[in-house]
Structure 1
Amino acid sequence: MVRDPLKYYVSVFGTSSTKDTWGWRVEGHHVSLHFTVVKGNFIASSPTFFGSNPAEVREGPKKGLRILGDQEDAARSLLMALNDSQRAKAIIQNVALTDIVTTNKVDVNPLSPVGITAADMTPQQRDLLMKIVEVYTSKMADDIAAERRAKVQKAGVEKIAFAWAGETERGKKHYYRIQGPTFLIEHDNTQNDGNHVHSVWRDFNGDFGRDLLREHVASAHAGGVLGN
């Protein structure tokens, strides 16, 4: 992807309609947003990718600006709220992963279960976990954010796992992951000596609208199957 502040593109697939199936994408360096509408009734809004370099502006008139700082702060608040045994379980390794594990793969399946689950947290800690989820969902329009939160709740909050890799001090290299039955959040800040952040929200059942389109094709066309 060319790194140019003017090279951000909006692509429309199909014809926008309140009744038909279509989609659109917004993409450029450190931004990748995907939306799919099926028969005007359903919407898929993932994957959602944001990044920033620097993660924190350290000099100049905008010194102190942190574009995605809310994501890091919310996760660190949970990490610091864990007791020693919980934190030992949550921290899967002392060296941060070098980038988000799922990269830009089209198909994403649940990663190996690691870290500490919400079932092993206190109610207060669980609230902090859900605060992280809310930070990510709130970057979408209100109706999409509400749909994401409802889906997470329905699948079972107690099944959500939180994992951290790397240093715990602010400004140091770190990675964290939040995985539930239906979704995956990855946040990585390791490049540029821990000052270059990548983050993504993936949906196991709806990235790029794949399952919605498959259901549409199967119902609209006898024997129809949307290929992988």
Structure 2
Amino acid sequence: MKFKSFFLLLGCSLFCASVSSQELNLLATKFLNTLDPELKSKTVFALDDEERLNFNFVPIVRKGPTFHDFNDEQKEAAMALLRASLSAEGFRKTKEIIELENVLREIESGKFQMADGSRRDPLNYHFCVFNDPATEQFWGWRFEGHHISFNFVGSKGKIVASTPSFLGSNPAIVLEGNLKGREVLKLESELGFALVNSLSKEQLAKALFSEEAPREIITTNKQEVTNLDPWGISYSDLNQDQKKAFEKLLLVYLNNYESGFSKSLLDKINASGMDKLSFAWAGSLVPGKGHYYRIQSPVILIEYDNTQNNANHVHTAVRDLTNDFGRDLLKEHYSESHKH
């Protein structure tokens, strides 16, 4: 299927309806039931398979079938599962990041090539399912490719983990062509600058930890991460307007997820204590030059970096410090099962 017609199908089938997370198991099962045995064997892994922790966001050779392997029915079933796992805004960003592969192909004039011979390709995004979603037991699934990685764990019809997650945008702002002016991660950028530039000289001294931004998010694709030093300025050290700006920026990231999981993650942050949130910045205080920020607390770490390609290439990541890959929930589940 041509790229253009594929995106028309994708847009209609996914934006025309909102799917409750309670249907997640059914949607995953429906997707798997569209696959023939050979394709299904490439898609399904055990929940404890090491592949489930193989988190990445650069163009590499991956396991799991892609859109190239799917017919129209399979594409629609696969994307219905993704749509149910994200908010409308999260899916909008995902769709537009995929479309940027076409922009990169034109900018690079076909020079970029992966180890398998493929080039920038909006169909080269992979689906993997871990365990049988038809069971009441824990199961997971992953959607991943260049600049996108979502790692989900489900149980009893709902999402219980959606991290680590990664969204990137290259170009951050499309400078020419049919998509000129598109800025997929616009709020992540604008609200970050608004917050840092609202700080007083004394506040900025706490928040700014380096005049130069790191070239990449510091946690990269590590399977396990911890809080980073320095923490920056505390939420409690902000005035009321700044606190509201901080909260608005935080919600930009949480609102990418399906509403039930988004609420549970926000509840976890609140329970840990809003005053334990912090905001740290590095690099330029104005667009056009390399800049970086992060938000963190004992339970969450969010990173934003824009340094590559003349500061027109954004990477963002969200890590649940207590439950990435659903580790803590699974550990608790297996511990209880062992007792019984």
Give TM class, smaller chain: over 0.9
Q: Partner of 1:12 in structure 2?
A: 129
Q: Where does structure 1 lack aligned partners over 5 or more consecutive residues? A: 224-228
What is the CA–CA distance in structure 2 between the aligned matches of 1:204 and 1:144, rounded to whole Å?
15
Q: Partner of 1:226 in structure 2?
A: none
Indicate if the aligned counterparts of 1:38 and 1:212 stay in contact, CA closer than 8 A.
Answer: no
1:73-123: CA deviation from partner (whole Å, max 9, x where unpaired): 111111111111111221111111110011101111111242100111111
What is the CA–CA distance in structure 1 between the aligned matches of 2:326 and 2:335, rounded to whole Å?
14
Of 200, 209, 225, 1:92 maps to 209
Q: Which has the higher strand share?
A: 1
With CA pairs under 8 Å and 6+ residues apart, which has the higher RCO, 1 or 2?
1
1:56 aligns with 2:179: no
Q: Partner of 1:182 in structure 2?
A: 299
Of 266, 275, 279, 1:149 maps to 266
Structure 1 length normalisation: TM-score?
A: 0.93
Indicate if the aligned counterparts of 2:159 and 2:261 stay in contact, CA closer than 8 A.
Answer: no
What is the CA–CA distance in structure 1 between the aligned matches of 2:278 and 2:180, rounded to whole Å?
34
What is the CA–CA distance in structure 2 between the aligned matches of 1:135 and 1:192, rounded to whole Å?
24
The SS at the match of 1:198 is: strand
Letter in 2 for 1:115: G
Give the paired residue count.
Answer: 223
What is the CA–CA distance in structure 2 between the aligned matches of 1:29 and 1:86, rounded to whole Å?
37
Deviates more, 1:79-88 or 1:28-37: 79-88
Of 75, 81, 101, 2:192 maps to 75
What is the CA–CA distance in structure 2 between the aligned matches of 1:64 and 1:26, rounded to whole Å?
27
Of 106, 109, 116, 2:233 maps to 116
What is the CA–CA distance in structure 2 between the aligned matches of 1:17 and 1:90, rounded to whole Å?
47
Q: Partner of 2:163 in structure 1?
A: 46
Q: Partner of 1:160 in structure 2?
A: 277
What is the CA–CA distance in structure 1 between the aligned matches of 2:158 and 2:332, rounded to whole Å?
13
1:131 aligns with 2:248: yes
1:187-219: CA deviation from partner (whole Å, max 9, x where unpaired): 001111101111000011100011111111111
Of 101, 109, 114, 2:218 maps to 101
The SS at the match of 2:197 is: helix
After TM superposition, what 4+ stretches of structure 1 lie above 3 angstroms from structure 2?
A: 38-42
How much is the aligned-residue C-alpha RMSD, in angstroms? Answer: 1.6
1:103-153: CA deviation from partner (whole Å, max 9, x where unpaired): 101111111242100111111111111111100011111112111111111
Indicate if the aligned counterparts of 2:230 and 2:280 stay in contact, CA closer than 8 A.
Answer: no
Indicate if the aligned counterparts of 2:152 and 2:159 stay in contact, CA closer than 8 A.
Answer: no
What is the CA–CA distance in structure 2 between the aligned matches of 1:88 and 1:113, rounded to whole Å?
12
Letter in 1 for 2:122: P
What is the CA–CA distance in structure 2 between the aligned matches of 1:155 and 1:171, rounded to whole Å?
35
Identity of aligned residues (%): 44
What is the CA–CA distance in structure 2 between the aligned matches of 1:133 and 1:20, rounded to whole Å?
31
Q: Where does structure 2 lack aligned partners over 5 or more consecutive residues? A: 1-58, 61-119
Q: Partner of 1:172 in structure 2?
A: 289
Indicate if the aligned counterparts of 1:20 and 1:40 stay in contact, CA closer than 8 A.
Answer: no
Q: Which has the higher helix share?
A: 2
The SS at the match of 1:92 is: strand
Deviation, 1:21, is: 1.2
Deviates more, 1:2-11 or 1:65-74: 2-11
Structure 2 length normalisation: TM-score?
A: 0.63
Indicate if the aligned counterparts of 1:188 and 1:198 stay in contact, CA closer than 8 A.
Answer: yes
The SS at the match of 1:177 is: strand
1:30-65: CA deviation from partner (whole Å, max 9, x where unpaired): 000011124656611101100011011011222211
What is the CA–CA distance in structure 2 between the aligned matches of 1:90 and 1:27, rounded to whole Å?
33
Deviates more, 1:11-20 or 1:114-123: 11-20
Letter in 1 for 2:334: V
